[in-house]
């Protein structure tokens, strides 16, 4: 058999434990037909074979980003007001200037919508409606935070949603109030409060979603990503799932999607799951399938909505955050999904959220003992060691975000005061212990929360600090910050350092595994992709340097040279 394409003279790290390294790969159509030495690959070459001499560059299986929000994020980046990547001395003023400019340049937009502000730029009450009212008072504004867990609105939006001083607090959320007047201050936290405004915003046209997804896949291909998981597909969001499916059917995707249907505690879970099960069967294209169900066990620390075993440290009540689900209802919902043969995907941040969700998943084992279920958690900021052991025993995947495992500005301004010293310094983001417990650890950007960049995630997971380059671009001009790369140095408040515990750093082999084969496994794709083996699809990424040979500080700088999706070149740095 002759190959269409041969890659040779390369450092091929296969993520196949039977043959870790190779020099050459032969590809016919969409599949790998040979992995081995330069000498042997000659047998697959004839006059029709394109041969690429890679001059020692590294080849890896293409990256899997196992939890992100592609449709919402791409639409925000392409069509909405973006407050991402704004840093400066007066961050609030920078946000207000950008909002002002967007409002002026979009005179016909009925709603001003957007996202990306950092919660750490504001005090505990958060951004205020009055600042937006000064910019525009006759059209509603709704801007979602960078972490997606709060929304900044003006008075017009509050008025349309009929939110007043007297509106009772919703179950799964908080309407922040001005401590002096008791009036809504302009910040809505979590879905229970955000949806009061959110459900009034007209959904974007399907064509806009499709255009933004095409833009996004091109960008992700430049980062070496060819598979991702859409982690929050609304059962009602026809315009979104149809956009994915229509692109897949038209053969336009250069990114493979798996997806999770969101189950909300606001409606009847049983009915939603039945609707989701019907939708699962509608989508069968190999580039877009959705056989997983998404739950939020809790929310996030920075909005005081992550669910903790011990109270938040900065408050004088015994507030422990939001427990989204009643145990019995959650248990029933899990059982319904598991019995139907589908996956469960749970957002888990706090240690109490981890505990009650593991409790519920453990009960499934008795119901359905030997099923290959591959249920998963996303994020996991805090978890007791005994619960991590239980996750390993259950064979769970954890979609971790090494991007967040840093001792940064967010740590000093939010994590440390909210969690207190012990939890902030010694318990955040267990990572290496997940691998050691036998958990299937994957890498997730949670985009738009973090912009995907797998080599950066590899670096963060290995070091638990931000790179010098990231420091220079985000903090460098501000004299009050220092980057301290010595993990044993004594830190002063505000220093950007290494997030303890140090033994939670993972090595390069584990980081590559988590970024490739483990992500494939979590999505039932490990027989098709995730390693470089004969018979698998040729989803490959070529990196400028062999990550095993370079200085660790160079890892996040490593350039993607090309990306192949099912044997087709979908990105080349040369072009």
Q: At what angle do helices 206-222 and 238-249 cross, to 10 degrees?
A: 60
- Residue 347 CB, shortest distance to Zn ion, in Å, is 6
Of 260 and 467, which CB lies nearer to Zn ion in the complex structure? 260
Q: Which residue in 49, 51, 22 sits closest to 37, CA to CA?
A: 22
Tell me how far, at minimum, the Cβ of 35 lies from Zn ion, in Å: 35
Q: Minimum CB separation from Zn ion for residue 446, in Å?
A: 4
Q: Which is nearer to Zn ion, 22 or 231 (CB)?
A: 231
Q: Which is nearer to Zn ion, 66 or 440 (CB)?
A: 66
SS (H, E, C) 123-183: CCCCCCHHHHHHHCCCCCEEEEECCCCEEEECHHHHHHCCCCCCCCCCCCCEEEECCCCCC
Closest approach of Zn ion to the CB of residue 378, in Å? 6
Helix-strand-coil split of the chain, %, nearest 5 = 35, 20, 40
For the chain, state the CA radius of gyration: 24
Neighbours of 506 (CB within 10 A): 25
Joined together, the tokens standing for residue 333 give: 């919902």
Pairing assessment for the beta strands 288-296 and 256-262 based on DSSP bridges: parallel
Which residue is nearest to Zn ion, using beta carbons? Answer: 446
Answer for the pair 71, 84: CB distance below 8 angstroms, yes or no. Answer: no
Contact 213, 562 (CB under 8 A): no
Nearer to Zn ion, 77 or 471 (CB): 77
What distance in Å separates the CA atoms of residue 35 and residue 477, rounded to the nearest whole number?
48
Nearer to Zn ion, 299 or 423 (CB): 299
Question: Which residue carries 């991007």 as its tokens?
Answer: 403
- In whole angstroms, how close is the CB of 531 to Zn ion at the nearest point? 26
Query: What is the CA angle 504-506-509, rounded to 5?
Result: 165
| Nearest-approach distance from CB 118 to Zn ion, in angstroms | 17
Nearer to Zn ion, 296 or 435 (CB): 296
Contacting residues for 85 by C-beta, under 8 A, at least 6 apart: 116
Q: How far is the CB of 229 from Zn ion (least distance, A)?
A: 10
Which lies closer to Zn ion via its Cβ, residue 345 or residue 374? 345
Kindly report whether the peptide bond that precedes residue 434 is cis, defined as omega within 30 degrees of 0.
no
Q: Listing from the earlier edge strand, what are the strands of the sheet with 184-189?
A: 81-82, 112-117, 141-145, 150-153, 184-189, 174-177
- Burial of residue 20 (number of CB atoms within 10 Å: 0-12, 13-18, 19+): exposed
- Shortest separation between residue 309's beta carbon and Zn ion, angstroms: 23
Hey, what are 56's tokens? Answer: 């020692």
Q: How far is the CB of 231 from Zn ion (least distance, A)?
A: 5
Nearer to Zn ion, 190 or 566 (CB): 190
Q: CB of 69: closest distance to Zn ion in angstroms? A: 6
Give the shortest CB-567-to-Zn ion separation in angstroms.
31
Residue 345's Cβ-side half-sphere holds a number of Cα atoms within 13 Å equal to 28
Positions that interact with Zn ion (CB under 5 A): 231, 446
In whole angstroms, the minimum distance from the beta carbon of 479 to Zn ion comes to 35
- DSSP class of residue 237 equals -
DSSP 8-state code for residue 483: B
101's CB contacts (< 8 A; 6+ apart) are none
Q: How far apart are CA 442 and CA 65, in angstroms?
A: 8
Q: Which is nearer to Zn ion, 194 or 231 (CB)?
A: 231
Task: Kindly state the smallest distance separating residue 359's Cβ from Zn ion, in Å.
Answer: 22
User: Three-state SS string across 486-532, please?
Assistant: CCCCCCCCCCEECCCCHHHCCCHHHHHHHHCHHHHHHCCCCCCCCCC
Q: How far is the CB of 466 from Zn ion (least distance, A)?
A: 21
Looking at the Cβ atoms of 7 and 220, the one nearer to Zn ion is 220
Distance in angstroms (rounded) separating the CA atoms of residues 572 and 13? 20
Minimum CB–partner distance for residue 476 and Zn ion (Å): 29
Q: Counting Cβ atoms within 10 Å, is residue 25 exposed (0-12), middle (13-18) or buried (19+)?
A: buried
């Amino acid at each position: 058999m002759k190959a269409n394409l041969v890659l040779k003279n390369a450092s091929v790290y296969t993520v196949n434990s039977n043959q870790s390294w190779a020099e050459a790969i032969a590809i016919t159509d969409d599949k790998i037909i040979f992995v081995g030495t330069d000498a042997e690959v000659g047998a697959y070459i004839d006059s029709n074979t394109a041969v690429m001499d890679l001059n020692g560059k590294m080849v890896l299986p293409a990256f899997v980003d196992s939890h992100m929000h592609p449709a919402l994020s791409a639409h925000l980046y392409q069509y909405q007001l973006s407050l991402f990547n704004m840093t400066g001395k007066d961050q609030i003023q920078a946000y207000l200037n950008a909002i002002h400019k967007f409002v002026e340049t979009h005179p016909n937009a009925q709603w001003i919508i957007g996202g990306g502000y950092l919660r750490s730029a504001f005090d505990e009450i958060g951004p205020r409606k009055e600042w937006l009212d000064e910019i525009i008072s006759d059209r509603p504004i709704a801007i979602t935070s960078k972490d997606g867990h709060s929304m900044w609105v003006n008075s017009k939006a509050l008025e349309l949603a009929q939110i007043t001083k007297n509106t009772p607090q919703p179950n799964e959320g908080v309407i922040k109030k001005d401590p002096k007047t008791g009036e809504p201050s302009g910040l809505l936290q979590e879905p229970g409060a955000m949806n009061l405004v959110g459900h009034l915003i007209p959904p974007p046209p399907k064509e806009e979603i499709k255009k933004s997804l095409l833009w996004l896949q091109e960008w992700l291909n430049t980062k070496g990503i060819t598979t991702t998981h859409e982690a929050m597909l609304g059962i009602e969001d026809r315009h979104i799932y149809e956009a994915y499916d229509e692109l897949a059917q038209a053969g336009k995707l250069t990114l493979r999607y798996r997806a999770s249907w969101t189950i909300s505690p606001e409606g009847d879970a049983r009915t939603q799951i039945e609707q989701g099960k019907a939708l699962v069967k509608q989508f069968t294209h190999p580039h877009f399938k959705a056989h997983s169900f998404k739950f939020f066990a809790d929310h996030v620390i920075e909005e005081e909505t992550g669910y903790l075993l011990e109270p938040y440290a900065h408050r004088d009540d015994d507030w422990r955050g939001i427990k989204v689900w009643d145990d019995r209802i959650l248990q029933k919902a899990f059982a319904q999904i598991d019995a139907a043969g589908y996956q469960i995907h749970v957002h888990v941040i706090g240690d109490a959220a981890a505990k009650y969700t593991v409790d519920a998943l453990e009960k499934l084992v008795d119901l359905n003992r030997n099923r290959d279920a591959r249920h998963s958690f996303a994020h996991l900021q805090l978890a007791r060691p005994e619960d991590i052991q239980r996750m390993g025993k259950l064979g769970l995947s954890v979609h971790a975000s090494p991007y967040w495992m840093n001792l940064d500005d967010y740590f000093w301004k939010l994590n440390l005061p909210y969690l207190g010293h012990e939890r902030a310094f010694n318990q955040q983001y267990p990572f290496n212990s997940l691998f050691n417990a036998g958990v299937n650890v994957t890498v997730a950007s949670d985009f738009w929360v973090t912009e995907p960049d797998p080599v950066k995630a590899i670096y963060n997971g290995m070091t638990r600090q931000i790179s010098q380059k990231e420091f220079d671009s985000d903090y460098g001009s501000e004299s009050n910050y220092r980057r301290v790369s010595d993990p044993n140095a004594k830190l002063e408040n505000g220093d950007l350092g290494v997030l303890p515990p140090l033994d939670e750093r993972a090595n390069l082999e584990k980081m590559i595994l988590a970024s490739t084969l483990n992500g494939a496994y979590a999505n039932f794709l490990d027989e098709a992709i995730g390693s470089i083996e004969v018979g698998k699809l040729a989803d490959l990424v070529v990196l400028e340097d062999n990550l095993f040979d370079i200085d660790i500080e160079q890892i996040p700088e490593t350039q993607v040279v090309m990306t192949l999706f099912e044997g087709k070149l979908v990105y080349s740095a040369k072009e």
